[in-house]
């Protein structure tokens, strides 16, 4: 087997997960020079050196050259040339190249779109231990794309990536165990994988773990007063809030407003709801609409409330529609028009 170059990993916006370390053979001089140029960021020189090695049949050079063409480093983007060189490296058995060919086949980049062939290439790379391919193939089995739908097989394929600390695989496993997809439901297993993702810094992992700790009744939905679990949940929510994760801002805001699991702090709670709303998080917009329409926690402002409810509905929160309609029916037409205009302005400012 051959070793992936760290430079090749570094230059890949197309890839979202790290390359695998493998055993390195003796490199051809042109390939070695090409990798050194990649390490220096001299892509134009790397193109020349890698082309020589790729034409001589060096699989690593073919992989690196294909990725340069794919990303337009040292040359203009050329998807056809990218596929050509990656395919040659894949046919020589290089797992990273097999994974890349699977991605290109799946997306129809530089070649025809063919999910069945994509699955075949992912399968070859998976058999060689490439966890990126294993995760990609798992999602094909989950969706029944290119392969028969098989949730249990998807669960099996996700494990190697999750055990290698691929956060997206850990999150998918957590969801599968939580919902009983391809396996019996297991809140313990779901929490285990969410915790692993959270410990690696995933804001979504922090949030999902917090919600499991908060909703730890027998049916998984019962809230409870302060306890070791709720204290831990608040800590995980704060970790996600520190990464500006809107669902966590919303949930922690509600906890501060409720004053049971978290310290009663209405001002802090509303601020957190507004931070989530500013990211276009529809539940936060919905809740702010109700708060401003009713008043009490803030000065009543029904026009502001209607604006927030309008935005929540526009962003897909169907549960806000009855409250929005009921509030609008109480207000003069002029106030409704003003609210609608303010909602459009808000959406333009916040890019929603």
Percent share of the chain, pLDDT over 70? 89
pLDDT digits (tens, 9 = 90+) for 33-65: 888 988 899 999 999 999 999 999 999 999 999
Using CB atoms within 10 Å of the CB of residue 308, give its burial: 0 to 12 exposed, 13 to 18 middle, 19+ buried: buried
The answer to the question of residue 330 being in a domain is: yes
SS3 306: helix
More confident residue, 216 or 297: 297
The sign of the CA dihedral 179, 185, 188, 190 is negative
More confident residue, 299 or 12: 299
Q: Residues of 19-42 as b/e, b for ≥16 C-beta within 10 angstroms?
A: bbebeeeebbebbbbbbebbeeee
Mean pLDDT of the chain: 90
Please count the structural domains in the chain: 1
- Rounded to a whole number, what is the distance in angstroms from the first to the last CA of the chain? 48
Q: What does the pLDDT average to over 115-143? A: 98
At 10 the pLDDT is 34
Domain of residue 349 covers 288-352
Query: What is the spatial distance between Cα 313 and Cα 327, in angstroms, rounded to a whole number?
Result: 13
Q: State pTM to two decimals.
A: 0.83
Query: What is the spatial distance between Cα 119 and Cα 139, in angstroms, rounded to a whole number?
Result: 10
The answer to the question of residue 270 being in a domain is: no
Q: What does the pLDDT average to over 247-266? A: 95
| 31, 37, 49 from 56: Cα distances, Å | 10, 18, 11
The answer to the question of residue 329 being in a domain is: yes
At 232 the pLDDT is 94
The answer to the question of residue 315 being in a domain is: yes
CA angle 225, 227, 230 (to 5 degrees): 80
At 28 the pLDDT is 64
CA angle 180, 186, 187 (to 5 degrees): 115
More confident residue, 20 or 140: 140
| 3, 72, 88, 135, 159 from 55: Cα distances, Å | 19, 19, 10, 32, 38
Asked whether the predicted pLDDT for residue 342 surpasses 90, the reply is yes
Q: Where are the alpha helices (DSSP H) in 92-114?
A: 95-107
The answer to the question of residue 323 being in a domain is: yes
Q: What does the pLDDT average to over 307-317? A: 96
Spatial CA neighbour of 74 closest among 116, 34, 107:
34
At 15 the pLDDT is 38
pLDDT digits (tens, 9 = 90+) for 178-224: 999 999 999 999 999 999 999 999 999 999 999 999 986 544 455 55
Q: What does the pLDDT average to over 320-334? A: 96
pLDDT digits (tens, 9 = 90+) for 16-39: 333 433 444 555 677 888 889 888
The answer to the question of residue 24 being in a domain is: no
At 221 the pLDDT is 53
The answer to the question of residue 197 being in a domain is: no
Q: What does the pLDDT average to over 234-241? A: 97
The answer to the question of residue 327 being in a domain is: yes
Query: What is the spatial distance between Cα 22 and Cα 130, in angstroms, rounded to a whole number?
Result: 10
């Amino acid at each position: 087997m051959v070793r992936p170059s760290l430079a090749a990993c570094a230059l890949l916006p197309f890839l979202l997960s790290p390359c695998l370390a493998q055993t390195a053979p003796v490199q051809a001089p042109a390939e070695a020079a090409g990798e050194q140029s990649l390490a220096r960021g001299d892509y134009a020189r790397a193109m020349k050196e890698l082309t020589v090695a790729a034409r001589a049949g060096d699989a690593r050079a073919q992989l690196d050259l294909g990725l340069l063409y794919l990303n337009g480093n040292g040359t203009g983007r050329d998807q056809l040339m990218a596929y050509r060189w990656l395919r040659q490296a894949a046919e020589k058995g290089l797992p990273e190249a097999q994974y890349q060919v699977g991605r290109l086949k799946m997306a129809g980049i530089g070649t025809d779109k063919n999910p069945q062939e994509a699955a075949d290439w992912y399968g070859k790379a998976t058999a060689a231990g490439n966890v990126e391919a294993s995760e990609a193939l798992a999602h094909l089995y989950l969706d029944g794309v290119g392969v028969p739908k098989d949730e249990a097989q998807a669960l099996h394929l996700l494990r190697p990536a999750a055990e290698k600390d691929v956060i997206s695989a850990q999150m998918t496993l957590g969801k599968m165990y939580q919902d009983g997809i391809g396996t019996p439901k297991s809140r313990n297993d779901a929490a285990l994988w969410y915790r692993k993702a959270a410990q690696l810094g995933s804001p979504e992992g922090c949030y999902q773990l917090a919600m499991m700790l908060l909703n730890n009744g027998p049916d998984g939905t019962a809230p409870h007063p302060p306890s070791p679990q709720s204290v831990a949940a608040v800590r995980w929510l704060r970790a996600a809030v520190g990464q500006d994760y809107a669902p966590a801002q919303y949930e922690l805001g509600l906890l501060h407003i409720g004053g049971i699991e978290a310290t009663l702090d209405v001002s802090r709670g509303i601020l957190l709801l507004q931070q989530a709303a500013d990211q276009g998080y529809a539940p936060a917009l919905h809740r702010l609409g109700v708060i401003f329409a009713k008043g009490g926690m803030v000065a009543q402002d029904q026009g502001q409330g209607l604006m927030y409810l309008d935005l929540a509905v526009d962003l897909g929160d169907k549960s806000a529609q009855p409250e929005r309609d009921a509030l609008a029916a109480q207000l003069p037409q002029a106030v409704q028009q003003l609210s609608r205009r303010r909602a459009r302005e808000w959406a333009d400012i916040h890019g929603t």
